[in-house]
């Protein structure tokens, strides 16, 4: 546990103290979606993880430029960067223009991110908006001897690069193993080596998305856009680059190679990889056919779900597991997360009524302040939201026992309640991005309204205005609300 932020850098394979290049500014790049179909709940996990990382960096006071791209040039389906253009397949299937597909699914992606209360990035650049910059990077790579042209396509020359820089440094893969592991793939005949990857592909005349280049009409390789857009907006060396674990190889490995081959610098100094969401033990993915759409979770329309769950319940479920661990989703987990969500907000709701009853400020209670500080320490320990939540649950237990009278308020100071209020507001709302359960907020309102009515009734009784006090009781009774007068003058109410 630490009072300074430490990040597990997947490039170095160790946790490191986070030292931004130009504090208080931080550059954060996250690989965005390929907008050829709706994101599934696994994609939402990855983007929610980075949303919390972004929110926490902002909470710490950093001025974060958060860049998350939109892959709209249609990236290629296989690891070598060859095969069919996914954007075009979807366009043909739906009889839409490629840019119509892009627009449709970009809007859909934004809607889903909004639904899940994720903050928008500072810049959301598109691959098709950066074709010129991609061509320029390819030209530099050819000039530096790390790329070659064949028949209108350009490939990255992994062998020549590996003589100067270690290819495989991020994923830990060895070039010999990679060569041996490759099967015969489309376009292999024109490449110098099986592991070379496409920077630019020649387009056949019927190919819809194509651009003019020094090598003829064609389209860029997928890995290139992230090298170009991250360095354009954040600099040749910047702070954090993130993405799902499945992008580490080849996508991020190729990005580092492209960056070093062009600028002699690898781009990001801290690499962060979030782990996969599994369903029934299998990675959720469109190609495996086990993808559940976010809206199916919210409406409960998927056959594997018992009912719909609020997006905050799903966010909370994600947060209960560290971002770098796999998460297997199931109904029991969702039900527990729903209870936990309600409990946390119920406790948060009690704080307003406790603050008036606590003692005047002196020292804060050791336990409460230690648990509150622990929330920050846990987040500083590589954004450990799971441990932070454990602290919040413990604090929630303390709040509930204060509210219920099991713990007396003389043991707690006003400053304790204020610290609890700040901690719950910061972590639940600002950092974890959770929304209040509807039920709880309307209950809170009912509490407030009832407190006003009860005090009016007390006033009437103190004035021996029995007619008014009885009228209030009878009319509330007719509305299904029972008022009970306790022995000690305490008045409580219950709803039928």
The residue ranges that bind ligand AMP (CB under 6 A) are 31, 33-34, 42-43, 45-46, 243-244, 246-247, 276-277, 283-285
Q: What does 226 bind: Zn ion, ligand AMP, none (CB cut-off 5 to 8 Å by kind)?
A: Zn ion
Burial of 5 (C-beta count, 10 Å sphere; 0-12/13-18/19+): buried
Shortest distance in whole angstroms from residue 171 CB to ligand AMP: 14
- Taking CB under 5 A as the binding criterion, the range among 25-33, 43-51, 159-167, 284-292 that sits at the site for Zn ion is 25-33
Binding segment (CB under 5 A) for Zn ion, from list 4-12, 141-149, 224-232, 295-303: 224-232
Per CB under 5 A, the list member of 5, 31, 229, 340 interacting with Zn ion is 31
For 236, what's the count of Cα atoms within 13 Å in the CB-facing half-sphere? Answer: 10
Nearer to ligand AMP, 74 or 243 (CB): 243
What does the alpha-carbon distance between residue 43 and residue 291 come to, in Å, rounded to a whole number? 10
Q: Report the C-alpha gap between 187 and 240 in whole angstroms.
A: 34
- Told to check if 234 binds Zn ion by CB under 5 A, we report no
> Rounded to 5 degrees, what are φ and ψ at 80?
-80, -5
Please choose, out of 31-39, 59-67, 178-186, 381-389, the segment that lies near Zn ion by the rule CB under 5 A: 31-39
Shortest distance, CB of residue 267 to ligand AMP, whole angstroms?
Answer: 16
Q: Do residues 152 and 202 lie in contact, with contact meaning Cβ atoms separated by under 8 Å?
A: yes
Q: Which residues of 296-334 are buried (b: 16+ CB within 10 A; e: fewer)?
A: bbbeeeeeebeeebbbbbbbbbbbbbbbbeebebeeeeb
Interface with Zn ion, residue 277, by CB under 5 A: no
Q: Is 150 helix (H, G, I), strand (E, B) or coil?
A: strand
As measured in angstroms, the least distance from the Cβ of 29 to Zn ion is 8
Shortest distance in whole angstroms from residue 251 CB to Zn ion: 6
C-alpha 135/C-alpha 131 separation (Å) is 6
For Zn ion, which is the closer residue by CB, 246 or 418?
246
Min CB(50)–ligand AMP separation in Å: 9
Of 30-38, 79-87, 161-169, 381-389, which part binds Zn ion (CB under 5 A)? 30-38
- State the Cα angle at 229 between 285 and 195, rounded to 5°: 60
Residue 223 CB, shortest distance to Zn ion, in Å, is: 7
The single-letter DSSP state of residue 11 is: T
Report the length, in residues, of the chain. 496
Sorted by sequence, the CB contacts under 8 Å of residue 271 that are 6+ apart come out as 9, 10, 11, 170, 240, 241, 242, 252
Q: Does 67 bind Zn ion (CB under 5 A)?
A: no
From the list Zn ion, ligand AMP, none, pick the one residue 5 interacts with, judged by a Cβ distance below 5 to 8 Å according to partner type: none
Minimum gap (Å) between residue 51 Cβ and ligand AMP: 13
Q: Which is nearer to ligand AMP, 325 or 451 (CB)?
A: 325
Neighbours of 210 (CB within 10 A): 18
Of 42 and 74, CB closest to ligand AMP? 42
Q: Is 272 helix (H, G, I), strand (E, B) or coil?
A: strand
Interface with Zn ion (CB under 5 A), residue from 226, 272, 337, 340? 226
254 forms part of the interface with Zn ion (CB under 5 A): no
Nearest distance from C-beta of residue 181 to ligand AMP, angstroms = 21
For the beta carbon of residue 359, count every other beta carbon within 10 angstroms.
14
Q: Is 228 in the site for Zn ion (CB under 5 A)?
A: no
Tell me whether residue 165 or residue 249 sits nearer to ligand AMP (CB atom): 249
| 324 SS3 class | coil
CA–CA separation, 361 and 356 (whole Å) = 12
Residues that bind Zn ion (CB under 5 A): 31, 226
């Amino acid at each position: 546990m630490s009072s300074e932020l430490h990040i597990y850098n997947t490039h170095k394979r160790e946790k490191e103290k986070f030292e931004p290049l130009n504090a208080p500014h931080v550059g954060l790049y996250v690989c965005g979606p390929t907008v050829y179909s709706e994101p599934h709940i696994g994609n939402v996990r990855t983007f929610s993880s980075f949303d919390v990382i972004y929110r926490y960096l902002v909470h710490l006071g950093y001025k974060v430029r958060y860049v998350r791209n939109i892959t709209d040039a249609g990236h290629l389906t296989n690891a070598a960067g060859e095969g069919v253009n996914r954007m075009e397949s979807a366009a043909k299937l739906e009889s839409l223009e490629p840019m119509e597909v892009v627009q449709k699914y970009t809007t859909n992606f934004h809607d889903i991110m909004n639904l899940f209360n994720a903050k928008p990035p500072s810049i959301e650049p598109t691959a098709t908006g950066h074709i010129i910059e991609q061509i320029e990077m390819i030209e530099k790579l050819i000039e530096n001897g790390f790329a070659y042209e064949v028949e209108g396509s350009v490939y990255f020359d992994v062998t020549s690069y590996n003589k100067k820089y270690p290819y495989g440094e991020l994923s830990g893969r060895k070039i010999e193993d990679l060569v041996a592991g490759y099967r015969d793939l489309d376009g292999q005949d024109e490449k110098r080596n099986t592991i070379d990857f496409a920077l630019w592909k020649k387009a056949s005349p019927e190919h819809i998305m194509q651009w003019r280049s020094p090598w003829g009409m064609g389209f860029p390789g997928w890995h290139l856009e992230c090298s170009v857009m991250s360095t354009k907006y954040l600099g040749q060396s910047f702070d954090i680059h993130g993405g799902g674990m499945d992008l580490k190889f080849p996508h991020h490995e190729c990005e580092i190679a492209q960056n070093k081959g062009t600028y002699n610098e690898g781009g990001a100094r801290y690499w962060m990889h979030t782990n996969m969401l599994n369903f029934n033990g299998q990675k959720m993915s469109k190609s495996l056919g086990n993808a559940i759409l976010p809206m199916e979770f919210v409406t409960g329309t998927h056959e594997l779900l018992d009912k719909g769950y609020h997006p905050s319940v799903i966010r909370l479920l994600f947060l209960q597991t560290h971002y770098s661990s796999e998460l297997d989703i199931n109904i029991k987990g969702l039900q527990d997360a729903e209870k936990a969500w309600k409990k946390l907000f119920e406790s948060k709701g009690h704080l307003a009524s406790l603050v008036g009853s606590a003692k005047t400020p002196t020292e804060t209670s050791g336990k409460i302040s230690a648990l509150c500080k622990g929330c920050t320490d846990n987040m500083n320990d590589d954004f450990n939201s799971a441990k932070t939540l454990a602290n919040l649950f413990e604090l929630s237990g303390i709040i509930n026992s204060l509210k219920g009278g099991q713990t007396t308020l003389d043991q707690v100071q006003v400053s304790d309640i204020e610290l609890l209020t700040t901690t719950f507001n910061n972590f639940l709302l600002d950092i974890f991005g959770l929304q209040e359960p509807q039920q709880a907020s309307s209950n809170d309102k009912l509490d407030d309204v009832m407190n006003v009515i009860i005090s009016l009734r007390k006033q009437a009784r103190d004035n021996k205005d029995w007619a008014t006090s009885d009228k209030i009781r009878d009319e509330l009774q007719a509305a299904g609300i029972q008022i009970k007068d306790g022995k000690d003058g305490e008045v409580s109410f219950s709803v039928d």
